[in-house]
Structure 1
Amino acid sequence: MDESYASLPTSHLLGSVPAVENEENNTSTHEVPVANLQIFPPNNVGGDKGRGYQTLGGPSGDGDGPGQQPTSTSSGVFNISSYTQYFNVDTDVVLNRIISSINPVSGDFFSKIDSNPDLYGLVWISTTLIFVIAAFGNCATYLMDKSSDSGTTWSFDVNYFSVAACTIYIYALAVPLAFYFLLQYFGSRASLTHFWCMWGYSLFIFIPTSLLLVIPLEFLRWLIIILLGGASGCFVALNLRSYIDGNDLMVVCTAAFLLQMVLALFIKVWFFP
């Protein structure tokens, strides 16, 4: 090295670096900055403008750097992110499945949801049905009482909501679960997610049914609930048949049909007396 450079202080070689005075020893120390081309200057190579300064985590897009979201190693029923795939549906898909659910004789619902079963319909339809039957049930009760006694005053029964919530949520979750374990016991192939999806959409038909049950004509009410409850039962039974091999398990389809009818009759008797 040239002696002229060797005689210069270190600060002149590395640039202007402030000296830190050590009050105890009265000596001067210098901090030498560490050069790291990945951190400074900004990485705008290759026309990738606007990326800014890189951080110590690594270049963008490599490993677990800032350009890539951290991956979650946890999974299972207690991980919320594991359920996001079952809510990845748009409006057109949901409407198409709703239309299929009110067609009781098609029997091709599982083929439509095979690649992407969703739980959005189960949650949304069940919750909507709870509010609908509770609200319209109060209206129907008032109209029926008003037709027989003109002096009847309006009163809202809040218990309708609690009964509706317990009934619909338990039915929508427990009945598919029971059939899933039943078919597993009989050795048939079954998918719990597919069952929850189908039973969730099977409840949609009771939403417009609740609106029709507000009509203060008892005979017409019974006719509506029997017809539309039977349509919902046929939808479930015919689609469930695709999971059953042989005629020995046809009793399972019959049980599914009867359970839908029981739910329909319960809605009529409890909420629209």
Structure 2
Amino acid sequence: MALQKLIYDGSFEGLLNAIFIVYQEQLDDAEILEERFYEPDFFAEAQQVYTDDTKATRVWEGLRKFPQFSASVYRSFLTELPDKEIYILDAVRYVLKTKNDKDYGQPSVLKLAQLTKQVGREKHRMEAFVRFKRTKDDLYVALIEPDFNVLPLIAKHFKSRYADQQFLIFDQKRSYGIFYDLERVEFVTLDFDDQQLKEALHQEEKHYDKMWQDYFVSTGIKNRINKKLHLQHVPKRYWKYLNEKNPL
């Protein structure tokens, strides 16, 4: 039987539907691919996966019997790596068959654990380094470009921390954001960039930026500055989020 390539829409629900098909059709030789990475293959049969919430829920409920593992599946998906589905499918098959979700001697289970750690580090860095800027409409906005798609993971943190202010955290790399309206957080899609934010900023923001810079300079002791350690804790790619480093 030819290799079956299951092409899905790139959503997590779509991935769960593809896994459902693997089990429903008892496909021993199957490969799951996000449609943006798919290239026609003469030696393989392609099948389009249509997202069905009911099927996705059935698969997810099965995975949730292993809480730590199901979290690893989701976080590995958020890496957006083109080969993530290979490891996810193999690990899912192994765990559902053996009921052993902590066997890190199994290559795919180990790979998902490693990817989960990478996503977790990016999540914590976003929570630590995101800086909001106030607009003329009293909306607090932050622009980010994380390596991984961590917006779904940081929404709860910011809703809890900034419960009394409306905010938007916008992922420029993926063109979507999370918006909090003082009641709930929802995902939004916008056409938004640095220049638009600069034009929308409240006049006081310029003074805040200057204060942050002055404070940062005044608290630094030149002969005690450890640039190597500083870069280790605050990598240069995150400086653009910090008022004291790179204000708008």
Larger radius of gyration: 1
Question: What band does the TM-score fall into relative to the shorter chain?
Answer: under 0.3
TM-score normalized with structure 2 length: 0.24
Question: 1 or 2 for the larger relative contact order (CA 8 Å, sep ≥6)?
Answer: 1
Q: 1 or 2, which has the higher helix percentage?
A: 1
